[in-house]
A and B are shown apart, each in its own frame.
Chain A
Amino acid sequence: DSGVTQTPKHLITATGQRVTLRCSPRSGDLSVYWYQQSLDQGLQFLIQYYNGEERAKGNILERFSAQQFPDLHSELNLSSLELGDSALYFCASSVGQGRAYEQYFGPGTRLTVT
């Protein structure tokens, strides 16, 4: 158990809908990262927050947004969903931000868009 929690574990929704994925980092970790894992694209970095502020953006679509709240939990919002958004979404956390810090991953949320 990494200490990172994600809810829900599974999500099935229809095209055009909007969903929210939630992540609670390990106790004491200030940095939260979101990644998408799909069969065709592999693992891709989406976005990073550090202590409530957005710090880095990767291949995140404009239909997707995220935020980190004062209690350090984070939410990833996916809207106008398309079939291609079906994937496993991981949240990770680290105590700081820097290349040497280890990222600890949650169990993931499996999103299926029908």
Chain B
Amino acid sequence: GNSVTQMEGPVTLSEEAFLTINCTYTATGYPSLFWYVQYPGEGLQLLLKATKADDKGSNKGFEATYRKETTSFHLEKGSVQVSDSAVYFCALSDRDYQLIWGAGTKLIIKP
């Protein structure tokens, strides 16, 4: 079946550091891939998406590239800010259209 695996957190970085949160997936078809972010006490916000191999999604300085050969969709940002502190979820959508979620990675940015 379909599944998503994310690196465990929390990930703690200093402001302006480079961020990578790893995400790998297993899917039977050709899924779309998403990153969602959940700020404390809030709902889930779509951060970026990619719908086919080699697509790069980007938003607010975050990027992720759909790598079919490594079944990965790692989230990166060149210089993180304190305001990026949140929980980040990797997810996929396949033939059933529902989102299959990773466990979430808590990101803590220290000033």
State the A residues within 8 Å of B (CB). 2, 31, 33, 35, 42-45, 48, 55-56, 58, 90, 92, 97-108
From the candidates A2, A45, A97, name the one contacting B99 in the complex (CB within 8 A). A45
Given A42-B103, A42-B104, A100-B32, does the pair A90, B44 have CB atoms closer than 8 Å? yes
Residue in A31, A43, A106 whose Cβ sees the most chain B Cβ within 10 Å:
A43
State the B residues within 8 Å of A (CB). 29-32, 34, 36, 42-46, 49, 51, 89, 91, 93-101, 103-104
Residues of A within 8 A of B44 (CB): 90, 92, 105
Indicate if the CB atoms of B43 and A99 lie closer than 8 Å: no
From the candidates B89, B93, B103, name the one contacting A99 in the complex (CB within 8 A). B93
Question: What are 5 of the A-B contact pairs (CB < 8 Å)?
Answer: A42-B101, A56-B96, A56-B97, A56-B98, A90-B44
Given A42-B103, A42-B104, A43-B89, does the pair A99, B94 have CB atoms closer than 8 Å? yes
Indicate if the CB atoms of B43 and A107 lie closer than 8 Å: yes
Residues of A within 8 A of B43 (CB): 2, 90, 105-108
